[in-house]
């Protein structure tokens, strides 16, 4: 299967700090998605990216589709306690015939008030 | 709007028992997937379907069967449960090819003893 390397694995930050995480793949992707998962719930889509170089924002969240098409970045500005959760990247390989997504291993975010 | 509905939410099985995890979507999506989520491993693709009557294996298909008789339903069957299948299972429904997005159910937490 596709290998997606997501880093960092976990982050402990003070409320108000900015957060950055990234995801890299071994092959070219045509779509990158970023999800947030809270305990006991399924992943919820935050941002979708469809073009290399695309920069998209959703409130305090900003994500970018890397120029090489093998990476993506998510930034959260001015973190708040409700940002706590696990963030996953997901990618759709360019040559995948099944229209399926592959996921990173997640970044666990803890925000200290 | 229901979106993706999974049942049951929790299940405990004895080793060797069989069961079916149900998944239904009301978005008329052709593409659906089953993932399992284990600590530190993100979501791994078990099986997927590109339409009624068409299924294929993902990254970790062993021990699981699927079928797709209708667009709406995509059940996952455990033929003979093993402790290694203890996990949280998520069903996803995916928008059409080319800039798609994956929508998830709330998950089924399965424990095999």
Contact present, A23 and A112 (Cβ < 8 Å): no
Percent of chain B residues topping a pLDDT of 70: 96
Tokens of A105: 């291993």
Task: Look at A16 and A99; give whichever has higher pLDDT.
Answer: A16
Question: Which pLDDT score is estimated for A95?
Answer: 73
Q: CB within 8 A of B63, min separation 6: which ones? A: B78, B79, B80, B82, B84, B85
Given 3-state DSSP classes, what are the helix, strand and coil percentages for chain A, each rounded to the nearest 5? 5, 55, 40
Question: Which pLDDT score is estimated for B95?
Answer: 83
Question: Which pLDDT score is estimated for B42?
Answer: 84
The residue among A7, A10, A43, A44 with the most chain B CBs within 10 A of its CB, best to mutate, is: A43
Question: Which pLDDT score is estimated for A61?
Answer: 97
User: Distance (Å, rounded) from C-alpha B26 to C-alpha A38?
Assistant: 24
Quickly list DSSP for B58-89.
Answer: -SS-TTEEE--SSSSB--EEESS--GGG-EEE
Nearest of A4, A28, A29 to residue A105 by alpha carbon: A4
Residue of B44, B45, B107 lying closest to A42 (CB–CB): B107
Average pLDDT, chain B: 92
Question: Which pLDDT score is estimated for A27?
Answer: 87
Average the pLDDT over B52-77 and give the result.
95
Assess whether pLDDT exceeds 60 at residue A40. Answer: yes
Residue of A6, A42, A103 lying closest to B105 (CB–CB): A42
Question: Which pLDDT score is estimated for A100?
Answer: 80
Task: Look at B59 and B84; give whichever has higher pLDDT.
Answer: B84
State the pLDDT confidence band at A94, using cuts at 50, 70 and 90: confident
pLDDT one-digit tens code per residue, B5-49:
999 999 999 999 999 999 999 999 999 999 999 987 789 999 999
Residues paired with residue B110 on neighbouring β-strands, in sequence order:
B11, B87
Assess whether pLDDT exceeds 60 at residue B98. Answer: no
User: Distance (Å, rounded) from C-alpha B47 to C-alpha B70?
Assistant: 16
């Amino acid at each position: 299967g596709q290998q997606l390397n997501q880093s960092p694995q976990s982050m402990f930050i003070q409320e108000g700090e900015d957060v950055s995480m990234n995801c890299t793949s071994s092959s070219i992707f045509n779509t990158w998605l970023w999800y947030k998962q809270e305990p006991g719930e399924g992943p919820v889509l935050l941002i979708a990216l469809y073009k290399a170089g695309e920069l998209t924002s959703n409130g305090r969240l900003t994500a970018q589709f890397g120029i090489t098409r093998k990476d993506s970045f998510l930034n959260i500005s001015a973190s708040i306690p409700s940002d706590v959760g696990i963030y996953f990247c997901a990618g759709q390989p360019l040559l995948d015939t099944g229209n399926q997504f592959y996921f990173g291993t997640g970044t666990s975010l803890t925000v200290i008030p | 709007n229901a979106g993706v509905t999974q049942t049951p939410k929790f299940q405990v099985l004895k080793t060797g028992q069989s069961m079916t995890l149900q998944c239904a979507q009301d978005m008329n999506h052709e593409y659906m997937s089953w993932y399992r989520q284990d600590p530190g491993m993100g979501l791994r693709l078990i099986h997927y379907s590109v339409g009624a009557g068409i299924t294929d294996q993902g990254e970790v298909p062993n021990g699981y069967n699927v079928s797709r008789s209708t667009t709406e339903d995509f059940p996952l069957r455990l033929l003979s449960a093993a402790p290694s299948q203890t996990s949280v299972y998520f069903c996803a429904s995916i928008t059409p090819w080319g800039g798609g997005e994956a929508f998830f159910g709330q998950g089924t937490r399965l424990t095999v003893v």
